[in-house]
A and B are shown apart, each in its own frame.
Chain A
Amino acid sequence: QSALTQPASVSGSPGQSITISCTGSSSDVSAYKYVSWYQQHPGKAPKLMIYDVSSRPSGVSNRFSGSKSGNTASLTISGLQAEDEADYYCGSYTSSSLWVFGGGTKLTVL
């Protein structure tokens, strides 16, 4: 069970859009719709931002959107705001009835 692959860091200016990729395999990301994204601010617990590839929980801004193509899922944040600066993790269900996370991406708002 290998971790999903995310870029270590991304950055953008306020108002811009950024995309974070999450690459897995035929045993996880491409096989199931159960891909989710989590935001984590320093010293805090992760917060669910996207589930089932592209669904947003109640209360999460529509600036956050998700998609998937083949083995790669993506999180896009539009209209970047200072409070979006955080670590972001993807997670996926796997064919072994297990869960795997990505290594995390640090988003810096310039």
Chain B
Amino acid sequence: QVQLQESGPGLVKPSDTLSLTCIVSGGSVTSGTYSWSWIRQPPEKGLEWIGNIYSRGSTNYNPSLKSRVTMSVDTSKNQFSLKLTSVTAADTAVYYCAGLLLGQCFDYWGQGALVTVSS
């Protein structure tokens, strides 16, 4: 059973860079059946897909965030990461990492990490 766990600072200052890592256990980040995604949920709001990355490093990003987002994969540590630059209060959200099965559906989710943007 694949398990995902987000880690990173819970508080980020405005204009700084938000950095999160998702550790994959019970499976391999190099799996041919999964790509790896980040999804966020602002307080009391709905889900927003941020983007996904394949194990070889190719990416797809939400156009609304593309200029500020970078995703990467570290196969040696079996983890993948998210960086979001120039954050504002609007980036305050619970950030989830998720496994995207064969491009069909998000069937594995981390527990979520609350990131607050505030000075």
- Using known A-B contacts A1-B63, A98-B63, determine if residue A46 contacts B107 with beta carbons closer than 8 Å: no
User: In the bound complex, do residue B106 and residue A36 qualify as a contact, i.e. CB atoms below 8 Å apart?
Assistant: yes
User: In the bound complex, do residue A104 and residue B47 qualify as a contact, i.e. CB atoms below 8 Å apart?
Assistant: yes
Residue interface mask A29-43, B partner, CB < 8 A = 1? 000001010100000
Considering the complex, give the chain B residue whose CB is closest to the CB of A48.
Answer: B107
Q: By DSSP majority rule, is chain B's interface helix, strand, loop, or mixed?
A: strand
The docked-state distance in angstroms from the alpha carbon of A98 to that of B48 is 11
A47 proximal to B (CB < 8 A):
yes
- CB-CB under 8 A from A3, the residues of chain B are 46
B111 proximal to A (CB < 8 A):
yes
User: In the bound complex, do residue A101 and residue B109 qualify as a contact, i.e. CB atoms below 8 Å apart?
Assistant: no
- Using known A-B contacts A36-B105, A48-B107, A52-B104, determine if residue A98 contacts B112 with beta carbons closer than 8 Å: no
Kindly provide the distance from the CB of B53 to the nearest chain A CB, expressed in whole angstroms: 13
- CB-CB under 8 A from B106, the residues of chain A are 36, 38, 46, 48, 91
- Number of A interface residues at 8 Å Cβ cutoff, please give it: 24
Kindly provide the distance from the CB of A106 to the nearest chain B CB, expressed in whole angstroms: 11
The docked-state distance in angstroms from the alpha carbon of A46 to that of B37 is 14
- CB-CB under 8 A from A101, the residues of chain B are 39, 46-49
Known: A38-B47, A91-B105, A101-B48. 10 other contacts (CB 8 A): A45-B96, A47-B109, A51-B104, A91-B47, A93-B104, A96-B63, A98-B60, A101-B49, A102-B46, A103-B46
Interface residues of B (CB under 8 A from A): 37, 39, 46-49, 52, 60, 62-64, 96, 100-101, 103-107, 109-112
Interface residues of A (CB under 8 A from B): 1, 3, 34, 36, 38, 45-48, 51-52, 57, 89, 91, 93, 96-104
